[in-house]
Amino acid sequence: MTEKSTITIKTADEIEKMRVAGKLAGQVLDMIGPYIKPGISTLELNDICHNYIVNTQQAIPAPLNYKGFPKSICTSVNHVICHGIPNEKKLKDGDIINVDVTVIKDGYHGDTSKMFIVGEASVQAARLIKVTRECMMLGIAQVKAGNYLGDIGEVIENHAHAHHFSVVREYCGHGIGKIFHEDPQILHYGKAKTGLQMVPGMIFTIEPMINAGKRQTRLLPDGWTVVTKDHSLSAQWEHTVLVTESGFEVLTKRDEEDDLN
Ligand code: MF3
Ligand code: CO
Ligand code: CO
């Protein structure tokens, strides 16, 4: 039996709600930035985000209890690729960390993440972070009605490989709306002119995970934390993106991102 495809095309009303949720998710990343310094634990970052989402934004942190995830944000440090669980360990100078925030507001999800450098990063770490954001941006630039999902994957893969980095294949972007993870899957590798064609009103995430070493992953016994098998550094950036007739609208855009839209 074949899987039922559940790609949803959002109505104008739903798109407006996704704009609100996306904006709130981006604002959590703006809010938490100044706290990310040597000595703070990822659990403290989690608690600050949780309280901000619940009390200030009057929204819901989507990860909490999602398929049993125990915290309100994901914090992925150094060789952790994604889905890191906030804990008591303190950040130290030179660490790199991805903070991934998903909020639910008025029934709709906004999902976004960014990399932060704790203190001063190595040249290699800074390069990985920069190239990974470029991968996301190149992917976003492919979003337009009539273009193919494979167009996104190809530009991301080519850019990562040009810099001798690798692309994680086991985890991908996803459709998003009333449901956190819905169809289609957005692969961060592949071939242009293959896969689904984009349709106006589709909303999905682009969230490339790029490794400084080999692409292979390992899931830790906690059932969530995904690390690089070779312990090399990994980076990720994520936006929630709306397909329009003429191109794209980044629903989770932050004010600092003057290179978007
Ligand atoms: N925010 C992640 C994503 O980009 C998903 C986290 S699921 C969780 O898809 F359960 F780990 F929170
Ligand atoms: Co996502
Ligand atoms: Co996310």
Cα(first)–Cα(last) distance of the chain, in Å?
41
- Evaluate whether residue 168 is within a structural domain: yes
Given this model, what pLDDT does residue 89 score? 98
CA of 207 to the centre of ligand 2 (A): 6
User: Does position 261 have pLDDT exceeding 80, yes or no?
Assistant: no
DSSP-assigned letters across all residues of 129-177: HHHHHHHHHHHHHT-STT-BHHHHHHHHHHHHHHTT-EE--SS-EEE-S
Q: Is 260 part of any domain? A: no
Q: The domain that contains 192 carries what CATH number?
A: 3.90.230.10
Q: Domain span at residue 187?
A: 3-250
Asked if the structure places residue 192 within a domain, the reply is: yes
Give yes or no for residue 150 CB within 6 A of ligand 1. no
CA of residue 98 to ligand 3 center, whole Å:
10
Q: Is 207 in the pocket of ligand 1 (CB under 6 A)?
A: yes
* Ligand 1 neighbour 83 (Cβ under 6 A): yes
pLDDT, one tens digit per residue, over 98-129 is: 999 999 999 999 999 999 999 999 999 999 99
Average pLDDT value over all residues in the chain:
97
| pLDDT, average across residues 190-217 | 98
Q: Is residue 107 part of a domain?
A: yes
Residue 102 in contact with ligand 1 by CB distance below 6 A: yes
* 168 C-alpha to ligand 2 centroid (Å): 14
pLDDT score recorded for residue 239: 98
Tell the residue nearest (CA) to atom 12 of ligand 1: 63
pLDDT tens track for 41-92: 999 999 999 999 999 999 999 999 999 999 999 999 999 999 999 999 999 9
Nearest atom in ligand 1 to the alpha carbon of residue 101 is 1
Does 257 map to a domain?
no
Check the CA dihedral 184-76-112-72 and report its sign: positive
Nearest ligand to the C-alpha of residue 186? Answer: 2
* Structural domain contains residue 258: no
Helix (H, G, I), strand (E, B) or coil at 235: strand
Is the CB of residue 69 below 6 angstroms from any atom belonging to ligand 1? yes
Tell me whether residue 16 is in a domain: yes
Cα separation, 213 vs 152, whole angstroms? 22
Confirm whether 256 is domain-assigned. Answer: no
Q: Tell the residue nearest (CA) to atom 2 of ligand 1.
A: 100
Percent of the chain with pLDDT over 90: 96
Domain count, the chain: 1
Q: Which atom of ligand 1 is nearest to the CA of 205?
A: 4
Query: What confidence score (pLDDT) does residue 258 get?
Result: 87
Question: Confidence class of residue 1 from pLDDT cuts 50, 70 and 90?
Answer: low
C-alpha of residue 226 to centroid of ligand 3, in Å = 14
Pairing of strands 108-117, 226-228: unpaired
Six-digit token string for 156: 């991301």
Identify which has the larger pLDDT, 4 or 21. Answer: 21
Residue 66 Cα, ligand 1 centroid: separation in angstroms? 8
Q: Quick one: average pLDDT of 1-6?
A: 67
- pLDDT tens-place string over residues 124-156: 999 999 999 999 999 999 999 999 999 999 999
